[in-house]
Amino acid sequence: MTTSTINSQKPSDDLGDSKLKLQDIIKTLPKECFELNHRKAWTGAVINVLMVGLGYASIAFSPWYLLPLAWVFAGTALTGFFVIGHDCGHRSFAKSRWVNDLVGHLAFMPLIYPFHSWRIKHNHHHLHTNKLDEDNAWHPIRPEFYETWPKLDKSVFEVLMRKRLWWLSSILHWANLHFDWRQYRKQDQSDVKLSVAVVVTFAAIAFPTLIITTGVWGFIKFWFVPWLVYHFWMSTFTLVHHTDPEIPFLPGSEWNAAIAQLSGSVHCDYPRWVEFLCHDINVHVPHHVSTAIPSYNLRLAHRSLQENWGSYLREERFSLSLMRRITDQCHFYSLGEGYFSFKDYYARK
């Protein structure tokens, strides 16, 4: 792991109680980081639509042996749709709420992702990043909780992690958390029902139309496989952003928002074409410092954090060795001990 040490701030391995406040960090960021630029926002959206269109054209015209490349490109471009909706969910795409809601729903529709359901759950994640038993986006499994699970749930979790099928995790998260409005507060349920209705209506029209015009193989070819690629990136981004053998999760009594957002989330460099299609969502630390920073200003904000808070930052480069380290070691978590693997878990029993 490469950790920036540009300044002499408090070292990043001390993530517990601190007097540092999130506002102290935000004050050091250039004001330009928070400025909404309608031209950049809409240009990014138009380019994303063109890239998705190019992806589907490549699927339509590619010979069978080039289809995997076309699928990867189209699915990655679809992930860009999610990032645009992600900005909308944080109200950093446009100043008007109704524009954010409209664009957010349109961006999420092809992904069959209910916009308001995700927005509400995701905002909870930002309020409780790396807080033990509270962070709902990605949190470690505590062995005492694991032992209370049904056998089926245990088996699914073990297969996902031992067989390195982390890339399916986002699908389980999507299915379990975003369609049941009863999981939400009463004042949010009408928004959740609206978003569920939008994607169900889209699927009810688009899927039969696709099958009628292109057959079942067309449905698999044009929607299902690119959708799986999209979930690969969603699972990977989420896992890498918030999981590392050295990142602690702390109980609320010891948790500090400023430290958690700076050192509990990871900046990871991916191939540049991935970063371009996904609107720099990999530049993740400034997004946790302030969700008001739009995606096109994340790099500017990150450079400022490197200059002013470098010793807190965790920076990685995407690689197979990185994924092996995470999926081999980060299975269970215990307070005072940190992460440990299935092998260690069963050795203690």
Q: What is the DSSP string of 216-248?
A: HHHHIIIIIHHHHHHHHHHHHHHHHHH--TT--
Q: Which helix (H) or strand (E) holds 332?
A: strand 332-334
pLDDT tens, residue by residue, 307-349: 999 988 999 999 999 998 888 888 888 887 888 888 888 887 6
State the Cα angle at 313 between 18 and 32, rounded to 5°: 95
Q: Which helix (H) or strand (E) holds 32?
A: none
> Which is it for the CA torsion 192, 38, 292, 262, positive or negative?
positive
State the Cα angle at 216 between 175 and 209, rounded to 5°: 80
**Beta carbons of 208 and 200 less than 8 angstroms apart:** no
Over residues 24-38, mean pLDDT: 95
Helix then strand count (H, E) for the chain reads: 16, 4
pLDDT tens, residue by residue, 180-231: 898 889 999 999 999 999 999 999 999 999 999 999 999 999 999 999 999 9
Other CB atoms within 10 A of residue 186 CB: 8
pLDDT tens, residue by residue, 66-98: 999 999 999 999 999 999 999 999 999 999 999
Distance CA 18, CA 25 (A): 13
